[in-house]
């Protein structure tokens, strides 16, 4: 959970930087509700999202800040993040800095880096002004105890370019937080469906060029909304990129085609079981939004030869679902899906076993339905 320092800092920065665009109370709740509707049902009009600035800064930034920690924590556990104390990062579609600041927060908490040098690219100069104000707080200000120091190189411009490699060349880490679902969605005067084949071709090249432009073993982390269409696009692109000799490091435990693409109703996303701090939870309740659990879709690519999959690795892609006498978890492993029943007599599964978590099984399950403890034992990765 975010500390109170974040909320007080954001409040101070909002008052100073947003000026007449700042909102609190009922006007803020109305902005949050309108922007949420745009995020979930009106993504064709996302170019209009620059307007509700108070909602973006005061609610969506602190709400979404921990999401990047899902893939990054796994990469850190496998020793796949840079070992240097200064990281060179590019944030594509940086916005107000949610993904950059989430990275800096994790780097501080796990003592991975002291300084994050970030090339922050966005087509909204006012958003970059907000990010610069927050980044300054990490350099001796109120966020210095919360984050590695963020040294910012703001760059106004679009990341929707055919060859983005010049923007990222030689960097250690590239980030794209909740922006990819908005890219290449128009062709001339018409709007493309998000899963349009031509758009998928462009996105595939875009992802591959960014990843291969990073330094060897560099990592490109994508976050997108946990909605069916953008998530299935991410799954489809993951399958395509398997053939380009890139390492798909997370969340997939195997290199076979995604089994969740076979049914239109399925999609692969993660959910962190975190509750919002009470001031944010109150705003969420008043706006009619969830205030427990953080959902997102993700993909982490590395500029490295694919690592061989580990036979007993799995990802939780469904559940936990409580039913009489048990909790159900659905595992993806070796291109197969297995339902795992965790019996109530064995106690509740740990909170670390949530949708999107990577786990290790003590042996391969012998059927598509297994019981924890009797057929297979799983532990957090």
- For the residues 204-211, what does the mean pLDDT come to? 96
- For the residues 150-178, what does the mean pLDDT come to? 95
Model pLDDT for residues 97-128, shown as the tens digit of each residue:
999 999 999 999 999 999 999 999 999 999 99
Quick one: pLDDT at residue 269? 96
Domains of the chain, by residue range, sit at 64-302, 313-380
Model pLDDT for residues 5-29, shown as the tens digit of each residue:
999 999 999 999 999 999 999 999 9
Lowest mean pLDDT among 34-48, 82-96, 169-183, 262-276: 34-48
Quick one: pLDDT at residue 14? 98
Quick one: pLDDT at residue 50? 58
- For the residues 303-307, what does the mean pLDDT come to? 91
- Tell me, which fold does domain 64-302 have in CATH? Rossmann fold (3.40.50)
Instruction: Answer for the pair 15, 22: CB distance below 8 angstroms, yes or no.
Output: yes
Quick one: pLDDT at residue 309? 85
Model pLDDT for residues 214-236, shown as the tens digit of each residue:
999 999 999 999 999 999 999 99
Quick one: pLDDT at residue 46? 47
- For the residues 55-84, what does the mean pLDDT come to? 96
Confidence of residue 40 (pLDDT cuts 50, 70, 90): confident
How far is the C-alpha of 46 from the C-alpha of 22, rounded, in Å?
Answer: 20
Confidence of residue 178 (pLDDT cuts 50, 70, 90): very high
- Give the mean pLDDT of the chain: 93
- For the residues 125-147, what does the mean pLDDT come to? 98
pTM beyond cutoff 0.85: yes
Model pLDDT for residues 273-286, shown as the tens digit of each residue:
888 999 999 999 99
pLDDT at 42 over 70: no
């Amino acid at each position: 959970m975010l500390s109170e320092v974040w909320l007080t800092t954001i409040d101070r920065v909002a008052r100073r930087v947003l000026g007449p665009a700042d909102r609190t109370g009922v006007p803020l709740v109305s902005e949050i509700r309108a922007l949420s509707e745009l995020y979930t049902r009106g993504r064709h009009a996302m170019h209009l999202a620059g307007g509700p600035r108070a909602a973006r800064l005061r609610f969506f930034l602190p709400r979404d800040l921990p999401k990047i920690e899902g893939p990054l924590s796994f990469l850190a556990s496998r020793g796949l993040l840079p070992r240097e104390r200064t990281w060179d990062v590019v944030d594509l579609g940086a916005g107000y800095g949610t993904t950059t600041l989430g990275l800096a927060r994790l780097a501080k908490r796990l003592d991975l880096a002291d300084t994050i040098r970030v090339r922050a690219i966005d087509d909204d100069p006012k958003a970059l002004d907000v990010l610069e104000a927050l980044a300054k707080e990490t350099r001796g200000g109120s966020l210095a105890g919360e984050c590695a120091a963020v040294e910012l190189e703001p760059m106004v411009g679009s990341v929707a370019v055919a060859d983005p490699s010049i923007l990222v060349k030689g960097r250690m880490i590239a980030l794209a937080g909740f922006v990819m679902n908005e890219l290449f969605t128009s062709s001339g005067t018409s709007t493309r469906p998000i899963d349009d084949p031509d758009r998928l071709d462009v996105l595939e090249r875009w992802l591959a060029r960014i990843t291969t432009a990073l330094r060897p073993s560099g990592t490109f982390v994508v976050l997108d909304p946990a909605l069916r269409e953008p998530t299935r696009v991410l799954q489809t692109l993951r399958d395509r990129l398997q053939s380009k000799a890139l390492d798909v490091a997370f969340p997939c435990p195997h290199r076979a085609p995604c089994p969740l693409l076979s049914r239109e109703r399925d999609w692969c996303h993660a959910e962190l079981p975190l509750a919002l701090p009470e001031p944010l939870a109150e705003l969420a309740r008043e706006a009619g939004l969830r205030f427990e659990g953080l959902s997102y879709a993700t993909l982490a690519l590395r500029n490295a030869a694919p690592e061989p999959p580990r036979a007993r690795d799995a990802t939780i892609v469904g559940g936990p679902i409580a039913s009489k006498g048990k909790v159900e978890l659905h595992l993806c492993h070796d291109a197969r899906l297995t339902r795992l029943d965790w019996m109530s007599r064995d106690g509740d599964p740990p909170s670390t076993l949530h949708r999107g978590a990577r786990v290790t099984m003590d042996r391969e399950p012998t059927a598509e339905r297994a019981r924890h403890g009797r057929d297979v034992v799983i532990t957090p990765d």
